[in-house]
Amino acid sequence: MKGFVLVDKPSGWTSHDVVAKTRGILRERKVGHAGTLDPMATGLLVLAVGRVTRLLRFLQDLPKVYEGTMMLGVATDTLDADGAVLSREEMPVSQAEVEAAMKRFVGDIHQVPPMVSALKIDGRRLHELAREGKEVERAPRPVTIHDLEMTDFSPSNYPEVGFRVTCSKGTYVRTLADDIGRSLGGHAHLTELRRTNNGSLSVSEAVSIEQLQAHADAGTMAEVLLTPASALRDVVGYEVDEPLVGAVRNGVAIAANPTDVSEGSFVRVMHDGELLAMYRSNGSGLVAEVVLS
């Protein structure tokens, strides 16, 4: 079996839990995901099954969309509702003040990764060090907030703010929430977070773990398994004629370069709706990155 499955991750599961469960359901060892979701978070987890796990990196760079809620005035040690409360300080700010603060975070920004994260420093994951009571210095990392809008506001001494954010790979939404709180003179933490999109792939297309099990049991996995061409639909496609198919399958460079592709960008090389390979533009042509057998 090979292809992509969109799963709606339940709260309380790690991304690895979903991968491990899917391996068991599909009886397939090679399963990977296109981007970690925190245990508290729900929503879209893109899984690759079989040999197409090699294609996951082309999905990881796509923008992600999240919907969530943050509470102002309360700090936790994980920056979300799963953590222990570190402090409470009333923040009776107005909706206009919060909206103005949020606008300042749109664009290219730098974030300090939270200690409770999977990022590795000197070979150790930060969350492992955090469990040992250790805190290490983390260098700020560049990320891009493409769009950030308020979707709800509940005024109080500890206001709750609903939001939707479109962001780049590597963005920590927990950190974004706390940074917004800090910019208003206090702290904040996430109370809810849901990933709705990975590029144009939507959680509305996803299945629950229970539905995935039911499809596997009924032999109807074809109904939920996306082809590589469909899963990578956000990447520019380049159609080749039949005489070139053999060359592409052997990873031969292509002299043509699509006009709408910049140097360094990836291209889906297709024939008759089938993804043959992923190529990269070198400015004058296309060179093979991953060839599908």
Q: Nearest-5° angle of CA 230, CA 282, CA 235? A: 15
| Tens-level pLDDT at each residue, the chain (293 residues) | 899 999 999 999 999 999 999 999 999 999 999 999 999 999 999 999 999 999 999 999 899 999 999 999 999 999 999 999 999 999 999 999 999 999 999 999 999 988 777 778 777 777 777 777 777 778 899 999 999 999 999 999 999 999 999 999 999 999 999 999 999 999 999 999 999 999 999 999 999 999 999 999 999 999 999 999 999 999 999 999 999 999 999 999 998 877 778 889 999 999 999 999 999 999 889 999 999 97
Burial 23-60, CB ≥16 within 10 A → b, else e: eebbeeeebbbbbebbbbbbbbbbbbbbebbbbbebbe
Q: What is the pLDDT of residues 261-291, one digit of tens each?
A: 888 999 999 999 999 999 999 988 999 999 9
Instruction: Give the domain 235-291 fold.
Output: 2.30.130
Instruction: Give the domain 64-198 fold.
Output: Pseudouridine synthase (3.30.2350)
Task: Write down the domain spans for the chain.
Answer: 3-60+201-230, 64-198, 235-291
3-60+201-230: CATH, from 2.40.50.140, 3.30.2350.10, 3.30.70.3270, 2.60.40.420: 3.30.2350.10
The rounded radius of gyration (Å) of the Cα atoms in the chain is 21
Domains 3-60+201-230 and 235-291 share a fold: no
Report the pLDDT value the prediction gives residue 224, as an integer from 0 to 100: 97
Report the pLDDT value the prediction gives residue 10, as an integer from 0 to 100: 98
DSSP collapsed to 3 states, the chain: CCEEEEEEECCCCCHHHHHHHHHHHHCCCCEEECCCCCCCCEEEEEEEEHHHHHHCHHHHCCCEEEEEEEEECEEECCCECCCCEEEECCCCCCHHHHHHHHHCCCEEEEECCCCCCCCEECCEEHHHHHHCCCCCCCCCEEEEEEEEEEEEEECCCCCEEEEEEEECCCCCHHHHHHHHHHHCCCCEEEEEEEEEEECCEEHHHCECHHHHHHHHHHCCHHHCCECHHHHCCCCCEEECCHHHHHHHHCCCCECCCCCCCCCCCEEEEEECCEEEEEEEECCCCEEEEEECC
Q: Nearest-5° angle of CA 118, CA 3, CA 46? A: 30
Catalytic residues, which ones? 38
